[in-house]
A and B are shown apart, each in its own frame.
Chain A
Amino acid sequence: MFVSNILRTKGTDIHSTVPDATADDVVQDLVKYNVGSLIVLEQDEDGESQMVGIITERDMLRAQAAHRKPLEQLLVREVMSTEVLTTSLEDSLQDAMRLMTNHRIRHLPVMNHGQLLGIISIGDIIKAHHDELEMENHYMKSYIQGEGADVGTIL
């Protein structure tokens, strides 16, 4: 299974924010959309939106532990991670899993030729993996039952 399969199932919705939004805005969005991260987008000189970072629940807690400031006084640009690890459509599920496990992260933006296409989370991967196992199980069961039926006919 590939990253493209996951994106096809979950869709390409991206929740985003901007560098000058406050941490308070971020908390509101994370809770409203029930997601664990927001992509930080900024317009370049040509007016094109570019990904400049990612901000996660963990970043929010870490910032609060470090700064001890009210959320309204913290800006996304102070809190976000700017070194964003990404995956691409043709990467295997296993590649994405390895990236997440090795770096202890839970979200990977999906890129295709430099363009942001979507985002996959650890929850999406576990769900896909579970669905795949269930499917395999279903096929094995019907294969075995089918064979049993054949044997029954022969006997």
Chain B
Amino acid sequence: MTLYGILNDKGFHVHSIGPGATLDEAVEELVRFNIGSLVVCEPTAKGTDVGVIGIITERDILRAQAAHKTPLEKCTVASAMTSDLISAEPGTEIEVAMRLMTQHRVRHLPIMEDEQLLGIISIGDVMNAQLQELTLSTWYMSRELSNRTGLWT
């Protein structure tokens, strides 16, 4: 299964925020939508297009709080975000996404196509997809076994 398949199931919407927003605004967005990250976008020189310049996660916010001890409303998203993005493409296999998440200890992968943001996949989405696949293969295997043995019918 590719990441495009997961995106197709969960939808392509991405929650984003601007670099100049404050961390307490970021917290409000994360809590309101019950999500773990926001993609940081900035309008490009061309105007309407938006460029992805980073990602800000729950972990980033807590890390900033632990380090600075300044109130959230005094910190900008730009000061706390991760700008070295670990991203994937829609054609990336789910196994590769699992490896990326494990190796880099990240829980969100922005999905980029031709330098455009197509969607975002979280570790929860990956697990959900794996679970569905496992459930399906268990079902097929038990059907196959019952066909062969006449048991469990």
Contact = CB atoms under 8 A, between A and B. Distances in A.
Interface in A93-119: 94, 97-98, 100-101, 104, 106
Interface residues of A, number: 32
Contacts of B128: 101
Interface of B: 24, 27-28, 30-31, 34, 36, 58-59, 61-63, 65-67, 71-72, 95, 98-99, 101-102, 105, 107, 123-124, 126-128, 130-131, 134-135, 138
Interface stretch (A11-19, A24-32, A143-151): A24-32
Interface of A: 27-28, 30-32, 34, 36, 57-58, 60-62, 64-65, 70-71, 94, 97-98, 100-101, 104, 106, 122-123, 125-127, 129-130, 133-134
Interface of B is mostly: helix
Contacts of A101: 124, 127-128, 131
A77 B62 CA distance: 19
B99 A57 contact: no
A64 B127 contact: no
B124 A104 contact: yes
Contacts of A70: 71
Nearest to B26: A61
A123 B124 contact: no
Given A101-B127, A130-B95, A61 B63 contact: no
A66 B35 CA distance: 16
Nearest to A26: B62
Contacts of B27: 61, 64-65
Q: Please name the 8 residue pairs, one residue from A and one from B, whose CB atoms are nearest each other, closest first.
A: A31-B66, A130-B98, A65-B31, A57-B58, A127-B102, A97-B131, A101-B128, A61-B27
B58 A98 contact: no
A61 B124 CA distance: 18
Contacts of A122: 107, 123-124, 127
Nearest to A127: B102
Contacts of A98: 131
B62 A125 contact: no
Given A104-B34, A123-B101, A126-B98, 12 more contacts: A30-B66, A57-B58, A57-B62, A94-B138, A97-B131, A104-B124, A123-B105, A123-B107, A126-B123, A127-B102, A130-B95, A130-B99
Contacts of B131: 94, 97-98, 101
A107 to B, nearest CB: 12
A34 B62 CA distance: 10
